[in-house]
Amino acid sequence: MEEFDVVVIGSGPGGYVAAIRAAQLGLKTACIEKDAPLGGTCLNVGCIPSKTLLHASEEYWKFRTKGQELGLLFQGISFDWSIMQKKRSSVISGFNQGIDWLFKKNKITRFLGTGSLVSPQEIAIRKGEETSTIRAKNIILATGSEPIPLPFLPFDEKIVLSSTGALALEHVPKTLIVIGAGVIGVELGSVYARLGSKVQFIEFLDRICPTMDEMVSREFEVILQTLGLQFALSSKVTGATIAEGNIQLDVEDQKSKEKRTYAAEAVLVCIGRRPFAKGLNLEKVGIAMTPKGQVAVDNLFRTSKPNIYAIGDLIDGPMLAHKASEEGVAVAEIIAGHQPVIDYVAIPNVIYTSPEVAAVGMTEAEAKNFNLKVKTGIFYFKANSRARCIGEEEGFVKIIAHADTDRLLGIHIVGCHASEMIASCAVAIHKKMTALELANLAFAHPTLSEAIKEAALAVHKRTIHS
Ligand code: FAD
Ligand code: NAI
């Protein structure tokens, strides 16, 4: 039976990165993936396809709505959904081949099949009727997550869509209902709204993207409404009827108890994701789980079996590709005897809408929950010269600092290119900078990033441009 130093189960951004790092460190490494293409959720049905469609639809929408303001006059502008879909597929397959190439370059053995633990050192690989078994000194579980369905509304990927189905629709629906105004909802809802769909959200809580800073979430909602997205907040779906290629939802307002119905060609259910451990046979080997259904790990990513590790969406923490990859690198280094440290506080998160939303560190409410005394600084992009030049004046930067020490606690951006700007903010949070230290840095002029400096100045009531 072939034996490896490290066997990774799952080839998402956690698993494939762990495999590459382990191989770089001289460990004999294999990766088992049940699906033919490598790359997991992120590459095949997540980050990459969604960002490809977000970009194409944003360009189309901006040409139509903002071109004239800049003196760009287009006639007969239209889009071809099938070409957008081809672009999505070609970006994915390019990276599938890229990971394949990286595996070969790093001499990682790849197994196609479902990995299942037989013992803490043995893994069965099932492909159709065939099963083979390999041995591993160390095993890294990186099997990711899956979308949560509503119990009375199972996914059929035609009318009742998960994000996977919503990325690959045959045509742009005239009407779309989105249940859950979280990250997937606002991203994919934006794609279809820009291309002409009437998009109605039904959100259980009283604000969209409820894990974001409340001020951000409120401003974001107003901005998205101008794109035509409609939000029914504090609303609960109580029933559903599918007939003649349409879906009708019964919805109850949680505050007024008023009952309403919404109908559409399709419904996207995106109410969160849950860890995916099906088929791993964890119970048999005695791997402990958390009450939330995640694999329980210690601070070295060890499960209750010390040679079996788990990372990414399968364990606690934000379900983000870059978090999974950082953990992949860290766990490979731990197995090789190194002592890596991940700064979870400085992990940014981004929503790739227009404008984008990005954050690192705590929200104001989180800081207050920790009994921290806070002071805040806010600077609006409408007072930023670059934002005015490029017609991207929506949004703001909000900085939360400790009231006594001035240490940066959280930075939140709603604005164009927030996804790029947040990187410098993550450095500032990681380096434990104060708001004054950030304010005292020179930012190139004219740039959108100057709003970060001004927001830091605002913490000290010293803004120049507002
Ligand atoms: P996954 O990427 O889920 O990979 C797990 C892999 O394990 C899969 O390939 C699966 O087939 C395989 N597998 C499972 N069980 C077995 C088994 N028993 N044997 C063999 N193989 C198995 N995050 C971001 O940071 N930025 C984004 O822009 C972003 N956009 C997203 C958009 C959408 C629509 C979705 C759904 C998610 C998005 N995410 C984004 C989240 C991101 O995709 C996940 O956080 C990330 O993929 C988790 O990585 P992972 O390696 O833990 O697991
Ligand atoms: P989410 O947790 O972001 O949002 C789910 C939303 O659904 C919440 O607003 C919640 O209040 C609401 N909800 C829950 N149950 C409901 C119900 N029964 N009826 C109505 N609303 C309900 O989850 P989402 O959007 O499914 O995304 C899953 C995860 O994928 C994200 O948390 C994120 O980690 C990852 N992701 C990251 C992206 C990025 O980094 N840009 C993009 C897409 C996904």
What is the CATH classification number for the domain harbouring 388?
3.30.390.30
Amino acid at 94: G
Q: Are residues 8 and 140 in the same domain?
A: yes
Q: Are residues 126 and 34 in the same domain?
A: yes
Low-confidence ranges of the chain (pLDDT < 70): none
Would you say residue 77 lies in a domain?
A: yes
Task: Count structural domains, the chain.
Answer: 3
CA atoms within 13 Å, Cβ hemisphere of 375: 16
Q: Are residues 100 and 246 in the same domain?
A: no
Ligand 2 neighbour 185 (Cβ under 6 A): yes
Would you say residue 151 lies in a domain?
A: no
CA 361, CA 347: separation in Å to the nearest integer? 7
Q: Are residues 293 and 407 in the same domain?
A: no
Q: Are residues 141 and 278 in the same domain?
A: yes
What is the CATH classification number for the domain harbouring 55?
3.50.50.60
Ligand 2 neighbour 181 (Cβ under 6 A): yes
Q: Residue 281: what pLDDT?
A: 97
Domain termination site, one of 243, 271, 299: 271
Domain termination site, one of 298, 315, 342: 342
Question: Candidates 41, 183, 238: which one to mutate for ligand 2, based on the most atoms within 8 Å of Cβ?
Answer: 183
pLDDT in tens, 225-262: 999 999 999 999 999 999 988 999 999 999 999 999 99
Backbone angles phi, psi at 235, to 5 degrees: -125, 140
Helix (H/G/I), strand (E/B), else coil: 455:
helix
Would you say residue 140 lies in a domain?
A: yes
Q: Are residues 293 and 389 in the same domain?
A: no
Would you say residue 465 lies in a domain?
A: no
Question: Candidates 143, 282, 283, 350: which one to mutate for ligand 1, based on the most atoms within 8 Å of Cβ?
Answer: 143
Domain that holds residue 394: 346-459
Q: Residue 244: what pLDDT?
A: 87
Q: Are residues 373 and 227 in the same domain?
A: no
Amino acid at 324: A
Is the separation of the CB atoms in 238 and 252 below 8 Å?
Answer: yes
Q: How many other β-carbons are positioned within 10 Å of the β-carbon of residue 73? A: 7
Would you say residue 464 lies in a domain?
A: no
Q: How far is the CA of 13 from the centre of ligand 1 (A)?
A: 7
Q: Are residues 297 and 356 in the same domain?
A: no
List Cβ<8 Å contacts ≥24 apart for 387-395: 387/415, 387/416, 387/448, 387/451, 389/446, 390/416, 391/66, 391/69, 391/70, 392/355, 392/416, 392/448, 394/223, 394/355, 395/219, 395/223, 395/355
Q: Residue 44: what pLDDT?
A: 98
Cis previous bond, 355, omega within 30: yes
Is the separation of the CB atoms in 220 and 392 below 8 Å?
Answer: no
Ligand 2 neighbour 271 (Cβ under 6 A): yes
Q: Are residues 196 and 220 in the same domain?
A: yes
Distant-in-sequence, close-in-space partners of 407: CB < 8 Å, separation ≥ 6: 401, 432, 433, 434
Q: Are residues 263 and 286 in the same domain?
A: no
Q: Are residues 259 and 131 in the same domain?
A: no
User: Which atom number of ligand 2 is nearest to the Cα of residue 202?
Assistant: 20
With 0-12 / 13-18 / 19 or more C-beta atoms within 10 angstroms meaning exposed / middle / buried, residue 276 is: middle
CA 242, CA 7: separation in Å to the nearest integer? 45
> Is 445 one of the annotated active-site residues of the chain?
yes
Domain termination site, one of 271, 290, 316: 271
Residue of 322, 402, 445, 465 with catalytic role: 445
Is the separation of the CB atoms in 297 and 315 below 8 Å?
Answer: yes
Q: Are residues 357 and 249 in the same domain?
A: no
Q: How far is the CA of 211 from the centre of ligand 2 (A)?
A: 9
> Cα 54 to chain center, whole Å?
13
Would you say residue 154 lies in a domain?
A: no
CA 344, CA 18: separation in Å to the nearest integer? 18
Would you say residue 152 lies in a domain?
A: no
Q: Residue 245: what pLDDT?
A: 86
Would you say residue 155 lies in a domain?
A: no
Question: Candidates 153, 188, 271: which one to mutate for ligand 2, based on the most atoms within 8 Å of Cβ?
Answer: 271
